[in-house]
Amino acid sequence: MIELESVAMSYGGGELLSDMTLRLLPGSFHFLTGPSGAGKTTFLKLCYGELMPSAGRLTLFGQDLRDMSRDDIAALRSRIGVVHQDCQFLDHLPLIENVALPLTVAGQAANTTELRELLGWVGLWSQRGALPPQLSGGERQRAALARAVIRAPEVILADEPTGNIDWEMSLRLLKLLVELNRMGKTIVIATHDLNLIRTTKAQVAARVLRIQNRRLHLAGADL
């Protein structure tokens, strides 16, 4: 699905990420860890085509990112659902419209029952009319997860999805992601939360990727 071949990335200065080679197979479950500023968000941005590698080959669903047109990238984002670290909502639209936004921009109408189920599932149905700035950090992250999955993507990339929420809610979100993985979705979660990783490993065959010294490592079984 997502294939990196000696991919490097720099923001203009020195290389932030070097020589990363990786294949994310369908149905796999990965955690991405590393110190703050190591480049986790950057790595995920490469995976959904917001950034271009400065070297190497990045193949998404069999297509080289370099050969993809702007419309190809737009289409790609219906196959990859992303929970952004900073959520990225439209502040003038109520929560429910923000969650349905991936459908709106594709010209599809949201199914009200499904929307209700999805929002109930992340515990936000009662907040559906609130504007994003009126929500708490955790509520925003839950909404971001709901938005990421609304178009039934094949891959879900989540950047610190449990950064602002309590353990109980984290487990609930994790349960959703594990369920989605069992349905065959590919999951990548960037997180610092070792407890979350341990808990997950008890449920699915999750692997841990670690970014350290600009390289991507497959972490040992000690986690």
Partner 1 sequence: MSGGGRIRRLLGGLSRPQGAARVVPPSGSTAHLTVLTAGAMAFLAVFALALSLASGRLADRWSEALARTATVRISAPEAQLEAQTRAVLAILDTTPGIETARALDAAEMRGALEPWFGPDLPIETLPLPQLVEIIESPERPFDAEGLRLRLAAEVPGAVLDDHTRWRRPLVEAAGRIRLLGLMALGLIGAAMAGLITLAAQAALAANGQVIRVLRLVGARDTFIARAFVRRFTSRGFVGALVGTACGMGAVAALPAADAAGGFLTGLGFAGLHWLWPLAIPPLAAIVAYIATRQAALRMLKGIR
**Rounded CA separation 161/191 (Å):** 8
Binding footprint of ligand ATP, residue count (CB under 6 A): 11
92 binds, among ligand ATP, partner 1, Mg ion, none (CB under 5 to 8 A by kind): partner 1
Backbone angles phi, psi at 198, to 5 degrees: -60, -45
**Rounded CA separation 137/157 (Å):** 19
* Residue in 10, 15, 19, 93 binding partner 1, rule: CB under 8 A: 93
34 binds, among partner 1, ligand ATP, Mg ion, none (CB under 5 to 8 A by kind): ligand ATP
Name the residue nearer to partner 1 (CB basis): 102 or 193: 102
Q: Does residue 104 bind partner 1 (CB under 8 A)?
A: yes
Name the residue nearer to partner 1 (CB basis): 77 or 116: 77
Please list the residues that pair with 15 across neighbouring strands: 10
Q: Does residue 101 bind partner 1 (CB under 8 A)?
A: yes
CB atoms within 10 A of CB 203: 14
Q: Does residue 106 bind partner 1 (CB under 8 A)?
A: yes
Percent composition of the chain: helix, strand, coil (DSSP 3-state, to 5): 40, 25, 35
57 Cβ contact partners less than 8 Å away, ≥ 6 residues apart: 3, 4, 5, 6, 7, 64, 66
Stretch that binds ligand ATP, among 33-41, 99-107, 122-130, 202-210 (CB under 6 A): 33-41
Q: Given the rule CB under 6 A, which residues bind ligand ATP?
A: 11, 16, 34, 36-42, 85
